[in-house]
Amino acid sequence: MSPATSTPGSAYLTGCGFVLFAGLVLSLGVLCIRGAGESEAFQYLFWRAVGFTGAVTLIAACRHVANPVEQVMRMGWYGWLAAAAMVFSQVAFIAAIKVATVAEVFFLFSLAPLIAAVLAFPVLGERIGALGGLAVATAIGGVALMTGGGLHDGNWEGRALALGGALGFALYSLSLRRVPAPDLDAVLVASGALTLLAAGSVVLLKGSPFLVPLGNTGLAMLHGGVILAVGLLLMGWASRSVPGVTLIMLAQSESIAAPVWSYLFLNETPTRGVIVGGMLILSAVVLQAKDGARHNSAAVVAPSPTK
């Protein structure tokens, strides 16, 4: 097929593939986090940000004529919103894990697709159809099963932080849709630098040492410099052709793959709830992909001869 005959539908399907693969790549981060058990949460986040910022800055410098600092300085409003939302999501997630149970935090984080669906129209003017709404509800039910689904009494601080993290991730994913393609690398550089500053400030305020065991440092930098950088770069490229809510839904492949890695490499046997929940999430991904493909097929137009 020549470039002139390519369609928006094919670009959409390619973007969906990028998002699914991005989720699989990001799911490998659980192995690094579990392996770096001797470092505190914000120590780990600091060194992960060092690796991530270094990697995306190098990529931005190689891919563009302008240096990364100039790219960041000329970013538009949506670029700064995406960067700030990503930083807020990461910091809120780490803080929530410190004061709430892991199951509770992940259950509340599963509300990100629903939050994105609510915000998609006022932020981007994108409406979600009935099939997409069913997919969001199915995914939330799946994550609830995978995490045990229970919200324990009390601890509203942890719940507020977890919900804030879900809101941040939803805003990040939606904002990418309005970031010009040349600014995508700059968004990642800015989010890495801001995360580095935020995590470093917390470590200083707590009086904790920056130096942690070398193996922990290496795992954190591997997580940031390779796993997180590659995953978010793929999501950034996919955001050019995949609607915001669909982007978040397809990224749920991370929730499916992470228990598999835990079973294979950490000897953690998944419960029946994890298996059934994973199947529900996979069903939701298929529903959302079909819904998006239907809308994209309806929107296909003849390619312009000038492009």
CA 134/CA 283 separation, integer angstroms: 10
Asked whether residue 304 carries a pLDDT value surpassing 50, the answer given is no
For residue 112, what pLDDT band results from cuts at 50, 70 and 90? confident
Q: Which two tokens stand for residue 49?
A: 């940000």
Is the separation of the CB atoms in 176 and 241 below 8 Å? no
Average pLDDT (85-104) is: 79
pLDDT of residue 270: 67
Asked whether residue 160 carries a pLDDT value surpassing 60, the answer given is yes
pLDDT of residue 305: 35
* 38: helix, strand or coil: coil
pLDDT of residue 218: 96
Is the separation of the CB atoms in 42 and 208 below 8 Å? yes
For residue 4, what pLDDT band results from cuts at 50, 70 and 90? very low
For residue 5, what pLDDT band results from cuts at 50, 70 and 90? very low
Is the separation of the CB atoms in 164 and 92 below 8 Å? yes
CA 74/CA 240 separation, integer angstroms: 20
For residue 99, what pLDDT band results from cuts at 50, 70 and 90? confident
CA distances to 39, 282, 294 from 300, rounded to whole Å, are 51, 27, 10
For residue 191, what pLDDT band results from cuts at 50, 70 and 90? very high
**Residue written as tokens 């591997």?**
222
Q: What's the pTM?
A: 0.79
Asked whether residue 118 carries a pLDDT value surpassing 60, the answer given is yes
40 Cβ partners below 8 Å, 6+ apart? 203, 206, 208
pLDDT of residue 184: 87
Asked whether residue 201 carries a pLDDT value surpassing 70, the answer given is yes
Between residues 291 and 74, which one has the greater pLDDT?
Answer: 74
Average pLDDT in the chain:
80
Is the separation of the CB atoms in 111 and 166 below 8 Å? yes
152 Cβ partners below 8 Å, 6+ apart? 101, 104
Asked whether residue 306 carries a pLDDT value surpassing 60, the answer given is no
Each residue's pLDDT tens digit, 251-268: 878 777 877 887 788 777
Nearest residue to 283 (alpha-carbon basis) of 244, 255, 261, 306: 255
Amino acid at 109: F
Average pLDDT (85-92) is: 90
pLDDT of residue 258: 77
Is the separation of the CB atoms in 19 and 242 below 8 Å? yes
pLDDT of residue 300: 42
Task: Indicate the domain borders of the chain.
Answer: 13-292
